[in-house]
Protein backbone atom coordinates (compact mmCIF):
# COMPACT_ATOMS: atom_id res chain seq x y z
CA UNK A 1 0.00 0.00 0.00
CA UNK A 2 1.01 3.65 -0.33
CA UNK A 3 2.08 5.16 2.98
CA UNK A 4 1.06 8.62 4.08
CA UNK A 5 4.65 9.53 4.86
CA UNK A 6 5.52 9.10 1.17
CA UNK A 7 2.79 11.45 -0.02
CA UNK A 8 3.28 15.22 -0.34
CA UNK A 9 0.55 16.75 1.84
CA UNK A 10 1.53 20.42 1.66
CA UNK A 11 -1.54 22.57 0.99
CA UNK A 12 -3.47 19.43 0.05
CA UNK A 13 -6.99 18.72 1.26
CA UNK A 14 -6.36 15.63 3.37
CA UNK A 15 -9.26 13.51 4.64
CA UNK A 16 -8.20 11.15 7.42
CA UNK A 17 -10.43 8.29 8.61
CA UNK A 18 -9.65 7.55 12.25
CA UNK A 19 -11.41 5.24 14.67
CA UNK A 20 -12.40 7.70 17.39
CA UNK A 21 -15.18 5.42 18.57
CA UNK A 22 -14.43 5.94 22.27
CA UNK A 23 -16.59 5.53 25.36
CA UNK A 24 -18.48 8.74 26.21
CA UNK A 25 -20.39 9.37 29.44
CA UNK A 26 -22.36 12.53 30.21
CA UNK A 27 -20.77 14.32 27.27
CA UNK A 28 -17.21 13.41 28.33
CA UNK A 29 -14.72 10.96 26.84
CA UNK A 30 -13.99 8.35 29.51
CA UNK A 31 -11.13 6.52 27.80
CA UNK A 32 -9.07 8.35 25.21
CA UNK A 33 -6.66 5.61 24.11
CA UNK A 34 -7.95 5.68 20.53
CA UNK A 35 -7.75 9.48 20.35
CA UNK A 36 -4.18 9.47 21.64
CA UNK A 37 -3.25 6.73 19.17
CA UNK A 38 -4.48 8.92 16.30
CA UNK A 39 -2.56 12.02 17.42
CA UNK A 40 0.78 11.33 15.69
CA UNK A 41 -1.00 10.92 12.34
CA UNK A 42 -2.98 14.14 12.77
CA UNK A 43 0.09 16.05 13.93
CA UNK A 44 2.11 14.83 10.93
CA UNK A 45 -0.54 16.06 8.51
CA UNK A 46 -0.80 19.42 10.29
CA UNK A 47 2.98 19.82 10.36
CA UNK A 48 3.12 19.09 6.63
CA UNK A 49 0.80 22.05 6.06
CA UNK A 50 -2.21 20.03 4.97
CA UNK A 51 -5.84 21.14 5.17
CA UNK A 52 -6.89 18.40 7.54
CA UNK A 53 -10.35 16.87 7.81
CA UNK A 54 -10.74 14.00 10.26
CA UNK A 55 -13.72 11.66 10.15
CA UNK A 56 -14.88 8.83 12.41
CA UNK A 57 -17.93 6.97 13.57
CA UNK A 58 -19.14 6.91 17.16
CA UNK A 59 -21.37 4.11 18.37
CA UNK A 60 -24.12 2.65 16.28
CA UNK A 61 -26.73 5.37 15.61
CA UNK A 62 -29.78 4.75 13.47
CA UNK A 63 -28.36 5.29 10.01
CA UNK A 64 -29.22 8.50 8.24
CA UNK A 65 -30.36 10.23 11.40
CA UNK A 66 -28.68 12.81 13.63
CA UNK A 67 -28.72 11.73 17.26
CA UNK A 68 -27.23 13.96 19.91
CA UNK A 69 -25.83 11.12 22.01
CA UNK A 70 -23.73 9.96 19.07
CA UNK A 71 -22.37 13.40 18.19
CA UNK A 72 -18.58 13.60 17.98
CA UNK A 73 -18.63 16.92 19.93
CA UNK A 74 -17.09 15.36 23.09
CA UNK A 75 -14.34 13.88 20.89
CA UNK A 76 -13.71 17.26 19.20
CA UNK A 77 -13.44 18.95 22.60
CA UNK A 78 -11.08 16.27 23.89
CA UNK A 79 -8.96 16.30 20.76
CA UNK A 80 -8.66 20.10 20.95
CA UNK A 81 -7.36 19.87 24.51
CA UNK A 82 -4.79 17.20 23.58
CA UNK A 83 -3.61 19.18 20.54
CA UNK A 84 -3.77 22.61 22.13
CA UNK A 85 -5.50 23.78 18.97
CA UNK A 86 -9.07 24.51 17.93
CA UNK A 87 -11.00 21.54 16.54
CA UNK A 88 -14.27 22.76 15.07
CA UNK A 89 -16.88 20.06 14.51
CA UNK A 90 -18.54 20.36 11.10
CA UNK A 91 -22.10 19.09 11.17
CA UNK A 92 -22.95 19.33 7.46
CA UNK A 93 -19.88 18.40 5.53
CA UNK A 94 -20.70 16.27 2.51
CA UNK A 95 -20.99 19.21 0.13
CA UNK A 96 -17.68 20.80 1.05
CA UNK A 97 -15.59 21.77 4.06
CA UNK A 98 -13.70 25.03 4.70
CA UNK A 99 -10.30 24.43 6.18
CA UNK A 100 -6.98 26.27 5.90
CA UNK A 101 -3.51 24.78 5.54
CA UNK A 102 -2.18 23.73 8.95
CA UNK A 103 -5.73 23.69 10.35
CA UNK A 104 -7.94 20.82 11.38
CA UNK A 105 -11.64 20.12 11.48
CA UNK A 106 -13.49 17.07 12.69
CA UNK A 107 -16.54 16.16 10.62
CA UNK A 108 -19.64 14.81 12.33
CA UNK A 109 -20.26 11.08 12.85
CA UNK A 110 -20.02 9.30 9.46
CA UNK A 111 -22.86 6.98 10.54
CA UNK A 112 -25.33 9.88 10.43
CA UNK A 113 -25.09 9.56 6.65
CA UNK A 114 -27.45 7.29 4.76
CA UNK A 115 -25.38 4.76 2.82
CA UNK A 116 -22.43 4.59 5.21
CA UNK A 117 -22.98 1.02 6.36
CA UNK A 118 -23.97 -0.11 2.87
CA UNK A 119 -20.73 1.26 1.39
CA UNK A 120 -22.85 3.29 -1.01
CA UNK A 121 -20.99 4.52 -4.09
CA UNK A 122 -22.70 7.91 -4.29
CA UNK A 123 -21.86 8.69 -0.67
CA UNK A 124 -18.30 7.38 -1.10
CA UNK A 125 -17.82 9.64 -4.14
CA UNK A 126 -19.00 12.67 -2.14
CA UNK A 127 -16.44 11.92 0.56
CA UNK A 128 -13.73 11.38 -2.04
CA UNK A 129 -14.58 14.72 -3.68
CA UNK A 130 -13.72 16.53 -0.44
CA UNK A 131 -10.05 15.64 -0.67
CA UNK A 132 -6.88 15.37 -2.69
CA UNK A 133 -5.57 12.63 -0.42
CA UNK A 134 -7.53 10.09 1.59
CA UNK A 135 -5.69 8.59 4.54
CA UNK A 136 -7.10 5.38 6.00
CA UNK A 137 -5.80 5.19 9.56
CA UNK A 138 -8.73 3.57 11.38
CA UNK A 139 -7.38 0.09 12.09
CA UNK A 140 -10.24 -0.48 14.55
CA UNK A 141 -12.75 -0.14 11.70
CA UNK A 142 -10.69 -1.71 8.90
CA UNK A 143 -12.82 -4.88 9.09
CA UNK A 144 -15.86 -2.87 7.98
CA UNK A 145 -16.47 -2.33 4.26
CA UNK A 146 -18.26 0.99 4.69
CA UNK A 147 -18.30 4.25 2.74
CA UNK A 148 -15.83 6.03 5.04
CA UNK A 149 -13.37 3.12 5.27
CA UNK A 150 -13.59 1.30 1.95
CA UNK A 151 -15.77 3.18 -0.57
CA UNK A 152 -14.00 6.51 -0.24
CA UNK A 153 -10.65 4.78 -0.84
CA UNK A 154 -11.98 3.53 -4.16
CA UNK A 155 -12.70 7.03 -5.50
CA UNK A 156 -10.21 9.39 -3.78
CA UNK A 157 -7.48 10.81 -6.07
CA UNK A 158 -4.86 9.24 -3.78
CA UNK A 159 -5.64 6.64 -1.09
CA UNK A 160 -2.95 5.75 1.41
CA UNK A 161 -2.41 4.11 4.79
CA UNK A 162 -1.79 6.29 7.83
CA UNK A 163 1.01 5.59 10.33
CA UNK A 164 -1.30 4.07 12.94
CA UNK A 165 -2.84 1.59 10.50
CA UNK A 166 0.64 0.68 9.23
CA UNK A 167 1.97 0.17 12.76
CA UNK A 168 -0.99 -2.04 13.69
CA UNK A 169 -0.57 -4.23 10.62
CA UNK A 170 3.17 -4.50 11.15
CA UNK A 171 2.81 -5.51 14.82
CA UNK A 172 0.17 -8.11 14.04
CA UNK A 173 2.18 -9.52 11.17
CA UNK A 174 5.23 -9.76 13.41
CA UNK A 175 3.21 -11.72 15.97
CA UNK A 176 1.44 -13.97 13.50
CA UNK A 177 3.40 -14.42 10.29
CA UNK A 178 6.78 -15.55 11.60
CA UNK A 179 6.44 -15.58 15.37
CA UNK A 180 9.46 -16.14 17.61
CA UNK A 181 8.83 -19.35 19.58
CA UNK A 182 7.55 -20.54 21.90
CA UNK A 183 4.35 -18.69 21.15
CA UNK A 184 1.38 -18.41 23.52
CA UNK A 185 -2.05 -16.87 23.21
CA UNK A 186 -4.52 -16.00 25.92
CA UNK A 187 -8.12 -15.98 24.80
CA UNK A 188 -10.54 -14.99 27.50
CA UNK A 189 -14.08 -13.74 27.52
CA UNK A 190 -17.46 -15.19 28.20
CA UNK A 191 -18.33 -17.35 25.21
CA UNK A 192 -16.59 -19.91 23.05
CA UNK A 193 -19.19 -19.27 20.34
CA UNK A 194 -18.06 -15.66 19.77
CA UNK A 195 -14.38 -16.62 19.68
CA UNK A 196 -14.51 -20.03 18.01
CA UNK A 197 -12.84 -18.96 14.75
CA UNK A 198 -10.12 -17.13 16.68
CA UNK A 199 -9.52 -20.20 18.83
CA UNK A 200 -9.40 -22.41 15.76
CA UNK A 201 -7.01 -20.18 13.91
CA UNK A 202 -4.71 -19.72 16.92
CA UNK A 203 -4.72 -23.42 17.69
CA UNK A 204 -2.90 -23.99 14.39
CA UNK A 205 -0.23 -21.45 15.27
CA UNK A 206 0.54 -21.33 18.96
CA UNK A 207 2.47 -23.64 21.26
CA UNK A 208 0.21 -22.89 24.23
CA UNK A 209 -3.37 -21.71 24.09
CA UNK A 210 -4.48 -20.37 27.45
CA UNK A 211 -8.24 -19.98 27.76
CA UNK A 212 -10.04 -18.02 30.43
CA UNK A 213 -13.41 -16.80 31.64
CA UNK A 214 -16.58 -18.52 30.46
CA UNK A 215 -14.56 -19.92 27.54
CA UNK A 216 -12.39 -21.91 29.97
CA UNK A 217 -15.51 -23.28 31.69
CA UNK A 218 -16.61 -24.91 28.45
CA UNK A 219 -13.17 -26.52 28.13
CA UNK A 220 -13.27 -27.67 31.78
CA UNK A 221 -16.69 -29.24 31.13
CA UNK A 222 -15.35 -30.86 27.95
CA UNK A 223 -12.50 -32.39 29.99
CA UNK A 224 -15.00 -33.83 32.46
CA UNK A 225 -14.58 -31.37 35.34
CA UNK A 226 -17.61 -30.21 37.35
CA UNK A 227 -18.51 -26.58 36.57
CA UNK A 228 -21.54 -26.14 38.83
CA UNK A 229 -23.59 -23.09 37.90
CA UNK A 230 -20.78 -21.54 35.85
CA UNK A 231 -21.46 -19.91 32.54
CA UNK A 232 -20.53 -22.41 29.82
CA UNK A 233 -21.79 -23.64 26.46
CA UNK A 234 -22.77 -27.27 26.50
CA UNK A 235 -23.36 -27.48 22.76
CA UNK A 236 -19.79 -26.38 22.06
CA UNK A 237 -18.18 -29.19 24.03
CA UNK A 238 -17.39 -31.18 20.85
CA UNK A 239 -15.56 -28.17 19.37
CA UNK A 240 -13.67 -27.67 22.64
CA UNK A 241 -12.65 -31.34 22.61
CA UNK A 242 -11.44 -31.08 19.00
CA UNK A 243 -9.32 -28.04 19.90
CA UNK A 244 -7.83 -29.80 22.92
CA UNK A 245 -6.87 -32.76 20.73
CA UNK A 246 -5.00 -30.42 18.38
CA UNK A 247 -3.19 -27.98 20.68
CA UNK A 248 -1.87 -27.69 24.18
CA UNK A 249 -4.68 -26.00 26.10
CA UNK A 250 -3.65 -26.04 29.76
CA UNK A 251 -6.61 -26.17 32.12
CA UNK A 252 -6.56 -24.49 35.55
CA UNK A 253 -5.68 -26.80 38.41
CA UNK A 254 -7.60 -24.54 40.80
CA UNK A 255 -10.32 -21.94 40.40
CA UNK A 256 -11.95 -19.10 42.34
CA UNK A 257 -15.65 -19.67 42.87
CA UNK A 258 -18.62 -17.84 44.40
CA UNK A 259 -22.29 -18.63 44.79
CA UNK A 260 -23.34 -15.19 43.51
CA UNK A 261 -22.18 -12.86 40.77
CA UNK A 262 -21.72 -9.49 42.47
CA UNK A 263 -19.08 -7.04 43.64
CA UNK A 264 -19.41 -8.26 47.23
CA UNK A 265 -19.59 -11.99 46.45
CA UNK A 266 -17.34 -14.08 48.68
CA UNK A 267 -14.50 -15.68 46.75
CA UNK A 268 -13.36 -19.22 47.58
CA UNK A 269 -10.42 -21.06 46.06
CA UNK A 270 -11.12 -24.68 45.13
CA UNK A 271 -9.40 -27.41 43.18
CA UNK A 272 -10.97 -27.68 39.75
CA UNK A 273 -12.13 -31.16 40.74
CA UNK A 274 -14.09 -29.84 43.75
CA UNK A 275 -16.46 -27.29 42.18
CA UNK A 276 -19.88 -27.74 43.84
CA UNK A 277 -23.26 -27.72 42.06
CA UNK A 278 -24.08 -24.16 43.20
CA UNK A 279 -20.58 -22.72 42.53
CA UNK A 280 -19.80 -20.29 39.76
CA UNK A 281 -16.22 -20.21 38.50
CA UNK A 282 -15.22 -16.53 38.29
CA UNK A 283 -11.43 -16.70 38.02
CA UNK A 284 -8.52 -19.07 37.76
CA UNK A 285 -6.96 -20.01 41.10
CA UNK A 286 -3.51 -19.03 42.45
CA UNK A 287 -1.83 -22.32 41.47
CA UNK A 288 -3.14 -22.04 37.92
CA UNK A 289 -2.04 -18.41 37.79
CA UNK A 290 1.51 -19.42 38.72
CA UNK A 291 1.53 -22.23 36.14
CA UNK A 292 0.18 -20.02 33.32
CA UNK A 293 2.47 -17.13 34.27
CA UNK A 294 5.44 -19.50 33.98
CA UNK A 295 4.34 -20.48 30.47
CA UNK A 296 4.02 -16.81 29.50
CA UNK A 297 7.32 -15.75 30.97
CA UNK A 298 9.19 -18.14 28.74
CA UNK A 299 7.18 -17.32 25.63
CA UNK A 300 8.83 -15.29 22.89
CA UNK A 301 5.53 -14.24 21.33
CA UNK A 302 2.33 -13.56 23.29
CA UNK A 303 -1.06 -12.61 21.93
CA UNK A 304 -3.57 -11.47 24.51
CA UNK A 305 -7.30 -11.05 23.97
CA UNK A 306 -9.67 -11.27 26.89
CA UNK A 307 -9.39 -11.46 30.69
CA UNK A 308 -9.35 -14.84 32.49
CA UNK A 309 -11.68 -13.78 35.28
CA UNK A 310 -14.24 -11.19 36.33
CA UNK A 311 -11.46 -8.68 37.02
CA UNK A 312 -13.90 -5.77 37.44
CA UNK A 313 -14.44 -7.27 40.92
CA UNK A 314 -11.09 -7.32 42.70
CA UNK A 315 -11.63 -10.64 44.43
CA UNK A 316 -11.87 -12.28 40.97
CA UNK A 317 -9.02 -10.29 39.40
CA UNK A 318 -6.07 -12.27 40.73
CA UNK A 319 -5.72 -14.47 37.64
CA UNK A 320 -5.88 -11.65 35.11
CA UNK A 321 -3.47 -9.60 37.21
CA UNK A 322 -0.97 -12.48 37.47
CA UNK A 323 -1.05 -13.02 33.69
CA UNK A 324 -0.73 -9.27 33.06
CA UNK A 325 2.34 -9.20 35.32
CA UNK A 326 3.82 -12.20 33.51
CA UNK A 327 3.34 -10.49 30.15
CA UNK A 328 4.98 -7.37 31.57
CA UNK A 329 7.95 -9.48 32.73
CA UNK A 330 8.36 -11.46 29.52
CA UNK A 331 11.09 -10.25 27.21
CA UNK A 332 9.25 -11.66 24.20
CA UNK A 333 7.07 -9.74 21.75
CA UNK A 334 3.63 -9.19 23.25
CA UNK A 335 0.51 -7.78 21.68
CA UNK A 336 -2.80 -7.01 23.41
CA UNK A 337 -6.11 -6.11 21.81
CA UNK A 338 -9.81 -5.80 22.59
CA UNK A 339 -11.76 -3.46 24.87
CA UNK A 340 -11.76 -5.61 28.03
CA UNK A 341 -8.12 -6.46 27.54
CA UNK A 342 -7.13 -2.81 27.33
CA UNK A 343 -9.14 -2.11 30.49
CA UNK A 344 -7.08 -4.83 32.22
CA UNK A 345 -3.84 -3.42 30.80
CA UNK A 346 -4.82 -0.07 32.32
CA UNK A 347 -6.01 -1.49 35.62
CA UNK A 348 -2.77 -3.38 36.20
CA UNK A 349 -0.68 -0.58 34.77
CA UNK A 350 1.38 -2.59 32.30
CA UNK A 351 0.86 -0.47 29.16
CA UNK A 352 4.56 0.41 28.97
CA UNK A 353 5.62 -3.23 29.22
CA UNK A 354 3.39 -4.61 26.45
CA UNK A 355 5.24 -4.48 23.12
CA UNK A 356 2.17 -3.37 21.17
CA UNK A 357 -1.32 -2.37 22.26
CA UNK A 358 -3.82 -2.57 19.44
CA UNK A 359 -6.68 -0.07 19.06
CA UNK A 360 -8.74 -2.80 17.40
CA UNK A 361 -11.47 -4.93 18.94
CA UNK A 362 -13.31 -6.72 16.15
CA UNK A 363 -10.62 -5.78 13.62
CA UNK A 364 -7.93 -7.26 15.87
CA UNK A 365 -9.85 -10.54 16.13
CA UNK A 366 -10.56 -10.71 12.39
CA UNK A 367 -6.89 -10.17 11.60
CA UNK A 368 -5.91 -12.92 14.05
CA UNK A 369 -8.49 -15.17 12.37
CA UNK A 370 -6.62 -14.61 9.12
CA UNK A 371 -9.47 -12.71 7.48
CA UNK A 372 -8.86 -10.03 4.88
CA UNK A 373 -9.63 -6.54 6.20
CA UNK A 374 -11.64 -4.96 3.35
CA UNK A 375 -10.39 -1.41 3.93
CA UNK A 376 -6.80 -2.64 3.72
CA UNK A 377 -7.56 -4.74 0.63
CA UNK A 378 -8.89 -1.60 -1.07
CA UNK A 379 -5.68 0.33 -0.29
CA UNK A 380 -3.72 -2.58 -1.74
CA UNK A 381 -5.72 -2.62 -4.93
CA UNK A 382 -5.41 1.18 -5.29
CA UNK A 383 -1.62 0.90 -4.90
CA UNK A 384 -1.54 -1.47 -7.85
CA UNK A 385 -3.35 0.75 -10.32
C1 LIG B 1 -14.93 -1.10 17.44
O2 LIG B 1 -15.13 -0.45 18.47
O3 LIG B 1 -14.67 -2.31 17.45
C4 LIG B 1 -14.90 -0.35 16.14
O5 LIG B 1 -14.92 1.02 16.36
C6 LIG B 1 -15.95 -0.82 15.18
O7 LIG B 1 -17.22 -0.48 15.63
P8 LIG B 1 -18.49 -1.27 15.05
O9 LIG B 1 -18.40 -2.67 15.59
O10 LIG B 1 -19.70 -0.51 15.57
O11 LIG B 1 -18.39 -1.26 13.55
Q: Domain spans of the chain?
A: 4-164+373-384, 181-331
Segment 336-353, tens digit of pLDDT: 998 789 999 999 999 999
| pLDDT one-digit tens code per residue, 111-138 | 999 999 999 999 999 999 999 999 999 9
Going by pLDDT thresholds of 50, 70 and 90, the confidence category of residue 166 is very high
> How confident is the model over 313-334, as a mean pLDDT?
97
Report the pLDDT averaged over residues 134-157: 98
Q: What is the pLDDT of residue 339?
A: 77
Residue 275 burial (CB count, 10 A): 21
Contact between 330 and 299 (Cβ < 8 Å): yes
Question: Looking at residues 55-73, what average pLDDT do you find?
Answer: 96
pLDDT at 257: 98
In this structure, the residue with its CA closest to atom 6 of ligand 1 is 141
**17 catalytic per annotation:** no
Question: Does residue 253 carry a pLDDT above 80?
Answer: yes
Residue 90 CA to residue 76 CA, distance in Å, equals 10
The answer to whether the annotation marks 120 as part of a ligand binding site is: no
Report pLDDT for 372. 94
- What integer is the mean pLDDT of 295-312? 96
The pTM (predicted TM-score) of the whole model is: 0.91
Q: Alpha-carbon distance 250 to 14, whole Å?
A: 49
Q: What is the CA radius of gyration of the chain?
A: 22
Shortest-distance atom of ligand 1 to CA 60: 10
Local structure of residue 88 (DSSP, 8 states): P
Q: How many residues does the chain have?
A: 385
Classify domain 181-331 by CATH number.
3.40.50.1260
Nearest to 362 by CA among 42, 3, 36, 60: 60
Q: Is 34 a catalytic residue?
A: yes
Based on the residue annotation, tell me whether 51 is a catalytic residue of this protein. no
Q: Are 357 and 134 in contact (CB under 8 A)?
A: no
Report residue 12's pLDDT band, with 50, 70 and 90 as the boundaries.
Answer: very high
DSSP secondary structure of 143-157: T---IIIIIHHHHSS
- Among 80, 77, 146, 136, smallest CA distance to 111 is for 146
Residue 317 annotated as lining a ligand binding site = no
pLDDT band of 358, cuts 50, 70, 90: very high
Q: Give me the pLDDT at residue 238, please.
A: 97
pLDDT reading at 385 higher than 90:
no
Whether 362 sits among the annotated catalytic residues: the reply is: yes
Q: Which residues line ligand 1 (CB under 6 A)?
A: 19, 21, 60, 140-141, 144, 361-362
Question: In the predicted model, is pLDDT for residue 213 greater than 90?
Answer: yes
Q: Which of 175, 221, 212 is nearest to 330 (CA)?
A: 175
pLDDT of residue 32: 92
pLDDT of res. 340: 87
Q: Which runs of consecutive H residues, i.e. helices, occur in 273-335?
A: 286-297, 318-329
Give the Cα-Cα-Cα angle 87, 41, 124 (nearest 5 degrees).
Answer: 75
Same fold for the pair 4-164+373-384 and 181-331 = yes
Closest ligand 1 atom, CA of 59? 10
* Residue 325 clears pLDDT 80, i.e. is over it: yes
Distance (angstroms) between ligand 1 centre and the Cα of 340 equals 14
Residue 158 banded pLDDT, cuts 50, 70, 90:
very high
CA distances from 315 to 256, 263, 267, 280 (A): 9, 8, 6, 13
CA distances from 159 to 15, 40, 151 (A): 10, 19, 11
Q: Kindly indicate whether the domain formed by 4-164+373-384 is annotated with CATH number 3.40.50.720.
A: no
DSSP 283: E
Please confirm whether the linkage preceding 19 is cis (ω < 30° from 0).
no
Q: Which residues pair with 15 in a beta bridge?
A: 53, 134
Would you say residue 99 has pLDDT above 80? yes
Amino acid sequence: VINMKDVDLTNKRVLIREDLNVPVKNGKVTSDARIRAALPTIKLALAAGAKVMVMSHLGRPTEGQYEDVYSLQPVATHLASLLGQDVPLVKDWLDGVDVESGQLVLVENVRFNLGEAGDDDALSRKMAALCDVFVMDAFGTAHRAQASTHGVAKFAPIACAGPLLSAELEALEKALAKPARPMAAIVGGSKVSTKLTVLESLSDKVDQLIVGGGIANTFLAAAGFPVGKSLYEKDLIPQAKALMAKTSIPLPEDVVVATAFSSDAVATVKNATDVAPDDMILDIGPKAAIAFAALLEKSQTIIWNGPVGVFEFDQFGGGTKALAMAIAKSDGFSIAGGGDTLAAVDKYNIADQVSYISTGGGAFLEFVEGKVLPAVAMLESRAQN
